[in-house]
Amino acid sequence: MRKFIIASNNKGKLDEFGRILDPLGIKVVTAKSEGLVLDDVEETGTTFSENAFIKASAAFKKTGLPSIADDSGLSVDALGGEPGVYSARYAGENASDEDKINKLLKNLEDVPFEKRTARFICSICCIVDEETVITAEGSCEGIISEKPCGSGGFGYDPVFLVENGRTFAQISSEEKDKLSHRGKALRELSEKLSSLK
């Protein structure tokens, strides 16, 4: 198995990356599990793809190992695309998922159900070596529910309703991989990595 460092300590992301890249003989590990420390990187990009590159690049420089990073977030039409690249920091620097969801629902309080359209967007950057940088992107359309439902997933999953009328927090990991922005981006990445061999 080849090791790829993921520039994240998010357990949910690690699991999703692992499920899709494992069949390629790629073991996704955190820097921490390898006894390495990644510095906090300032995400100064104005797009998801810029931020993904900033994070992957910092991890690659620090570890010398193939590095993979994603930047993803929620774009809500009624809020002009917010929270967008600020999805993780939407309710402040150390806010919990619950805080972020509460702020989002408060901002959508008077918006009728049919106007609560949104999409999750995921941009992935994988730096295999000095010459090889691979990017992939995926998105998933949905509607923001009026209250959180389900106990699975992470982030905004409990309020993101997908086509089957359930939230990301109510569906299995396998279903989520098929539908989700990250699942789509990871499959694209997986195809691109396969063609390198």
Active site residues: 71
* Residue 147 to residues 26, 33, 41, 186, 187, Cα–Cα distance (Å): 38, 36, 33, 29, 31
H helix or E strand, kind and range, residue 18: helix 11-21
- Dihedral sign computed on CA atoms, order 187, 82, 15, 167: negative
Q: Which of 154, 153, 139 is nearest to 185 (CA)?
A: 139
CA–CA gap between residue 33 and residue 47 (Å, rounded): 29
User: Do residues 90 and 76 touch, judged by C-beta distance below 8 A?
Assistant: no
